[in-house]
Chain A
Amino acid sequence: QKEVEQNSGPLSVPEGAIASLNCTYSDRGSQSFFWYRQYSGKSPELIMFIYSNGDKEDGRFTAQLNKASQYVSLLIRDSQPSDSATYLCAGGRDSWGKLQFGAGTQVVVTP
């Protein structure tokens, strides 16, 4: 069974600090990776995706991918209380196919 693994948390982060979230995957065929934010009782909201090794920045968010280590991460800079949510990592084998989700990491940003 191909898995996407995340630390469930909660990850407690002071307001203004950097939150660092990690994700590992077992399917070497996975090519693209996505970070979604999910507030309690709501649907996943896409933050960003990455498919090349290295870093990708979008505003306060930076995704990092290392395919050799099968590792994806998300950094949230200048964390705000509104960033408190569960962050889902997902991988896909191809651009049109299904996404396989991890269980999510709960982030709590404390004022």
Chain B
Amino acid sequence: EPEVTQTPSHQVTQMGQEVILRCVPISNHLYFYWYRQILGQKVEFLVSFYNNEISEKSEIFDDQFSVERPDGSNFTLKIRSTKLEDSAMYFCASRATSAYEQYFGPGTRLTVT
């Protein structure tokens, strides 16, 4: 069964450093999402992406964040200058054009020290 994959599974970085989180959505899916979940809190929407552009973004997704689909398979989330409060699980999700369901990847645990 096709799955969303994410790398790395765990990233440790120092405050102020740039990180890139990578996702490979399910191959025939065209809608992509990033969510995050701070430990013990709700899953929060960050951004949605379709047709090579951002469809919607939340208040969390400020100028420090960017997304890119650098090729036909990868979807990345970049945080330019990480803060302590960026420590969270980051989930990528994808959805097929004709469907409602969003399927989540296993997540990247980001720890900012």
Contacts and interface: CB of A to CB of B under 8 A. Distances in A.
Interface of A: 32, 34, 36, 42-46, 49, 51, 88, 90, 92, 95-104
Given A44-B91, A97-B55, A97-B56, A103 B48 contact: no
B43 A101 contact: yes
B93 to A, nearest CB: 8
A98 B45 contact: yes
A34 B95 CA distance: 13
Contacts of A102: 42
B100 A92 contact: yes
A23 to B, nearest CB: 13
5 contacts: A32-B100, A42-B106, A43-B106, A46-B104, A98-B45
A95 B30 CA distance: 13
Nearest to B45: A98
A109 to B, nearest CB: 22
A99 B47 CA distance: 10
Nearest to A51: B100
Contacts of B58: 98
A97 B49 CA distance: 9
B55 A46 contact: no
Contacts of B102: 34, 46, 99
B83 to A, nearest CB: 23
Interface string B95-110: 1000111111111000
B101 A101 contact: no
A72 B33 CA distance: 24
Contacts of A49: 100-101
B105 A95 contact: no
Contact of A96 (B35, B55, B103): B55
B72 to A, nearest CB: 20
